[in-house]
Amino acid sequence: MTLAWLLRRFFTVLYTLLVVSVLVFGLTQILPADAAVTLLGENATPAALAAVRERLGLGDPAWLQYWHWLSALLQGDFGTSMRTSQPVGPAMFTALGRSLLLGGASLVVMLVIAVPLGMWAALRRGKAADLMSSLVSYLGVSFPEFVTATLLLIVVADYFQLLPATGYVPPGEDLADSIRHLILPVVTVSLIMVAHVSRMVRSETIDVLNSDYIRAARLKGLPPRTVLLRHVLRNALLPTVTIVALDVGYLLGGIIVVEEIFAIPGIGRALIVAITSRDLPSIQAGAVIMAATYAVANTLADIAYVLIDRRIRYD
Amino acid sequence: MSPVLAVAGYSLDYVTREGTQRVLEDVTLAIAPGEVLGLVGESGSGKTSLAWAIMRHLPGNAREAAGGSLRLGDVDLRAASARALETIRGRRMSMVFQDPSTALNPTLSIGRQVSEVLVRHRGLSEKDAWQAATEALAHVDLRDPAGLMKRYPHEASGGEKQRVVIATAFACRPELIVFDEPTTALDVITGARILELFGRLRAETGVSALYISHDLALVARVADRVAILEKGRIVEEAPADRIFTAPAHPYTRRLVAAVPRPEQRLVTDQVRPRELLRGEGIAVRYRRKRLFRLAPPPATDHVTLDIRRGEILGIVGESGSGKSSIARALTGLADYEGDIALDGRRIGSVKDMDRTYRKAVQIVFQHPDSSLNPRQTVGDILARPLRLYGGDVATIPALLDEVRLPAAYARRYPHQLSGGEKQRVAIARAFAAKPDLVICDEITAPLDVSVQASVVELLLRLREANGTAYLFITHDLNLVRQVAHRIVVMRQGEIVDLLDMEMLRRGEIHSYTRELIAASPTPVG
């Protein structure tokens, strides 16, 4: 991994985001929403509407509007919300922080469960434990998160009243309560990924276990534990990193649904609110921020990949 | 003296879906201290299964028959617990694998993989083990051992990796080492150097070894005694110097007869110097120049060669020497620079290769498993070139007969055929076009010696009947010396030598060719 590669990678991310910005701007242009009507309401006078359009530059050609939007964006100005009249940027980044907390916690929980589960199933291949983990995985994959979330709400939050059903508490305010509020959303988001990733870890582990170098390690007289931790684990995890990076895309989609169900004021929920209220600057900002998150996550995964697999060299 | 390894009355079955299959039948053998026993057998003879049985690393579906015994010195290996085996493996017996590129863990440094044995069995600290491992690498003639310790397997060559594996096997001074085809995956010269190294380490340490291989000529050089394994049974055991001169068992005699002897020419005719195909300054590049990257050196560097009508032109060279790139250029599978001329007609690029050219120049690939479509029957496979090049589909039975396969095989799928039969289908497919030139790219490499001999015999018969020329690409110098009219020797993308049999006999050869000949074991006696 060279500096040149990192630079090139950085520019690729920028280029991707530029394309995304064009697409996002284009989509908001063809959205059936008139910003002036959204701002002033259905009953505004034509004169007032015209004045607002003039002030917002809505009469300008699309490329000029795009240019104004992009140059402001590059200076960190995401525009002003039409719904709240507050700057969009700070609100969106606060929401993103909450989503990252939910997403990050889900990723960690997923890895902690999925990797040992997959390896355990591979070692007990064809035995009861393997079948159990397969069953759990298939169940996990076949439940979409809105079904899982609803079931969890009904059973855990409503019937047994073990955990709060909805809402968000910042960790800085009351850590214990914050965690209690996060448990159900995190379980919902990570369940499908656990199913997915543990299958992947299982099949990779089986391949690695059948490889010559594992045979060689055993024939060196190394105890099974050493073979597993030193020789198998790292090789079995390599492809998993790629899958996890791809799953970040799913994660972003899943979070939108989960935030809505559990009433967590994250970026997904902010985006839904923005779309339903036709708040164009918020929609644009939310979409661009999500795309940037995805691009950055993928770059981090690529870097992680080089760090654990010495055969891969980017130049 | 009591033997280091004693196998007595040992039988082994594999339980498969089709039922129980016997892989080893009443095997008895003993290896004395300091002795090397060669174990020779064709694929499926059970030789590798015996190695796994000795190392106590059998697959889950293996069932050992009661009564047989495996003893390493005073230890009854079959009775040893898993824990006891952990202290025996790597310390008292170790193994060297066929392919060094898969026998080392790609994600651990070479140093770690050598030193972990020393930590495990000699109780050294990590630091002392690292030091001892560095010395072990130096002892197997690896340059810059300290630097190599920090490298990862992909940063070492095949020969270096095999030396690392050997250093690991010798690290704890075991009594027995099992070698499973340790040079098969390596180039001829690299393999010869590995054998020299083994000879030296053997003299120094007095280790006993079981040396498994399919290559009778090679084993006869390495081993003191040779055991011949046929379908799980040892049919003959004899001193190494007697196996070629006085083979007792009929199967051994068949094996001995199939080993190519370079002094026995199989082709006796001469061809007139009438040029069929000429390649002028052929260069093949696999990666193009890009904005941030220079073009790589070409796989072949402006190679010029000509093939005469009806001639067998051999191309030999080690892996990466560019011999297959020539085949890919001549068949239009790779873009090339330079000129090809067929019967004087200029073919400047792949776009110029029309139906006439493709009909005239056919190819047979190394692995019939991947060159025959698994979802087509043999009949479908042969029908396509017949339709394309103006043949008659009704001649398929005759075509199969030409390659000595029953006409009923037309309805079979490739997976229902043996390796040799599949290669015959691939040859029939090439001949369906009635070509002037057939390029044979290592077509005998994946086959057993006896099958290899029959495929070569088939090729020669087809040539006799059709007057076809062959471009015979191989790494087996002994074989090519039996059949080729002229031999091209390639190294690093260049032709270093072009010789006919007369020059070879007079010894007018390049030093590299001499080195190749010296590294190819020929039958002794």
More confident residue, A312 or A200: A200
- Residue A72, domain member (yes or no): no
- Residue A116, domain member (yes or no): yes
Please give the residue range of the domain that contains residue B514: 275-287+297-519
Q: What is the pLDDT of residue B524?
A: 64
Please give the residue range of the domain that contains residue A147: 101-276
pLDDT of B324 higher than 90: no
Same domain, yes or no: B100 and B222: yes
The per-residue DSSP string of B450-515 comes to: HHHHHHHHHHHHHHHHH--EEEEEES-HHHHHHH-SEEEEEETTEEEEEEEHHHHHHT---HHHHH
A35-60: per-residue pLDDT in tens? 777 777 777 788 888 888 887 777 78
Q: What is the pLDDT of residue B166?
A: 96
Mean pLDDT across chain B: 91
Task: State the pLDDT confidence band at B287, using cuts at 50, 70 and 90.
Answer: low
* Subunit contact A230:B87, Cβ cutoff 8 A: no
Average pLDDT over every residue of B55-72: 93
Mean pLDDT across chain A: 87
How many domains would you assign to chain A?
1
Q: What is the pLDDT of residue B83?
A: 94
Number of CB pairs < 8 Å for A and B? 73
Beta strands B69-72 and B75-76, pairing class: antiparallel
Q: What is the pLDDT of residue B289?
A: 55
* Subunit contact A221:B107, Cβ cutoff 8 A: no
Shortest Cα–Cα distance, B202 to chain A (Å): 20
- Residue B514, domain member (yes or no): yes
B344-386: per-residue pLDDT in tens? 899 888 888 999 999 999 999 999 889 999 999 999 999 999 9
pLDDT of B399 higher than 90: yes
- Residue B264, domain member (yes or no): no
Q: What is the pLDDT of residue B303?
A: 87
Shortest Cα–Cα distance, B520 to chain A (Å): 27
Same domain, yes or no: B100 and B188: yes
- Residue B515, domain member (yes or no): yes
Between positions 273 and 312 of A, the ones with CB within 8 A of B are: 308-311
CATH number for the domain that contains residue A154: 1.10.3720.10
- Residue B268, domain member (yes or no): no
B224-272: per-residue pLDDT in tens? 999 999 999 999 999 998 988 899 999 999 999 888 888 888 988 888 8
Same domain, yes or no: B157 and B228: yes
Same domain, yes or no: B112 and B245: yes
Q: Which residues of B487-516 are buried (b: 16+ CB within 10 A; e: fewer)?
A: bbbbbebebbbbbeeeebeeeebeebbeeb
Q: Which amino acid is at A228?
A: L
Average pLDDT over every residue of A252-279: 89
Same domain, yes or no: B282 and B348: yes
Q: What is the pLDDT of residue A1?
A: 62
Q: What is the pLDDT of residue B188?
A: 87
Same domain, yes or no: B187 and B136: yes
Same domain, yes or no: B157 and B301: no
| Nearest residue, CB atoms, B116 vs list A212, A222, A309 | A222
Average pLDDT over every residue of A217-237: 92
Average pLDDT over every residue of B480-499: 92
Longest dimension (CA), chain A: 88
Same domain, yes or no: B312 and B375: yes
Task: State the pLDDT confidence band at B297, using cuts at 50, 70 and 90.
Answer: low
| Nearest residue, CB atoms, A235 vs list B107, B117, B152 | B107
The per-residue DSSP string of chain A comes to: --HHHHHHHHHHHHHHHHHHHHHHHHHHHHSS--HHHHHH-TT--HHHHHHHHHHHTTTS-HHHHHHHHHHHHHTT---B-TTT-SBHHHHHHHHHHHHHHHHHHHHHHHHHHHHHHHHHHHHTTTSHHHHHHHHHHHHHHHS-HHHHHHHHIIIIIIIS--S--S----TTT-HHHHHHHHHHHHHHHHHHHHHHHHHHHHHHHHHHHTSHHHHHHHHTT--HHHIIIIIIHHHHHHHHHHHHHHHHHHHHHHHHHHHHHTT--SHHHHHHHHHHTT-HHHHHHHHHHHHHHHHHHHHHHHHHHHHH-TT----
A123-146: per-residue pLDDT in tens? 988 888 888 888 888 888 888 888
Chain B residues within an 8 Å CB radius of A219? 55, 57, 89-90, 94-95
Please state which of the ranges A65-69, A287-291, B301-305 shows the lowest mean pLDDT.
B301-305
Same domain, yes or no: B341 and B396: yes
Evaluate whether A145 touches A254 at the Cβ level (below 8 Å).
Answer: yes
Same domain, yes or no: B341 and B411: yes
CATH number for the domain that contains residue B424: 3.40.50.300
- Residue B315, domain member (yes or no): yes
Q: What is the pLDDT of residue B525?
A: 54
B198-226: per-residue pLDDT in tens? 999 999 999 999 999 998 989 999 999 99
* Separation of alpha carbons A78 and A86, rounded Å: 11
Q: What is the pLDDT of residue B291?
A: 52
Token reading at B112 = 């770690």
Q: What is the pLDDT of residue B39?
A: 96
Shortest Cα–Cα distance, A222 to chain B (Å): 6
pLDDT of B292 higher than 60: no
- Residue B525, domain member (yes or no): no
How many domains would you assign to chain B?
2
pLDDT of A309 higher than 80: no
Between positions 226 and 255 of A, the ones with CB within 8 A of B are: 226, 230-231, 234-235, 238
- Residue B263, domain member (yes or no): no
For residue A261, the number of C-alpha atoms closer than 13 Å in the C-beta half-sphere is 24
Residue A218: Cβ within 10 Å count: 22
Same domain, yes or no: B315 and B383: yes
Same domain, yes or no: B280 and B252: no
**% of chain B residues with pLDDT over 90:** 69
- Residue B312, domain member (yes or no): yes
Q: What is the pLDDT of residue A315?
A: 57
Average pLDDT over every residue of A195-214: 91
Report the complex ipTM: 0.82
Q: What is the pLDDT of residue B521?
A: 83
